[in-house]
Amino acid sequence: MRSQIAISERRACSLVGLCRATLRYAPQCSVEDAELTERIRDIALERRRFGYRRVHQLLRREGIEVNHKKVYRLYRKAGLAVRKRKRRKGVMLERQPLTLPAQPHLVDGFCHGLAREWSSH
């Protein structure tokens, strides 16, 4: 907006309703976060089926004390996600035919009439 119209920064911020500190804010990336992101990326590429929770466990086992929420934030910021498994198109085994009971009234090896008698006890 200021590049198109010659007005001061204070005036432009008041027109938009934005604090001047917010306009001037520059996020600071720490060296520790960069190193941690690199380690998270290495673990995720080595073990593609591991999500951020398992990556967090591996980091804790390596002795890196880090919050799981920070691991999640850096994991997503690095553009990582668990790879979806491809669905198998067909079954490799030959299917067996369905076996039918010998008599129509016998289903589980006993007569339903007996089952009615047993259920009343």
Token look-up 């073990």 returns 47
The full set of domain ranges for the chain reads 9-77
* Coil, helix or strand at residue 61: helix
Q: What is the pLDDT of residue 46?
A: 92
Q: What is the pLDDT of residues 27-85, one digit of tens each?
A: 887 889 999 999 999 999 999 889 999 999 999 999 999 999 999 999 999 999 887 77
If you average pLDDT over residues 81-105, what whole number do you get? Answer: 77
Q: How far apart are CA 81 and CA 91, in angstroms?
A: 28
Q: What is the pLDDT of residue 87?
A: 80
Q: What is the pLDDT of residue 20?
A: 94
Q: How far apart are CA 40 and CA 45, in angstroms?
A: 9
Return the structure tokens found at 40. Answer: 């998270």
**Cβ(47)–Cβ(61) under 8 Å?**
no
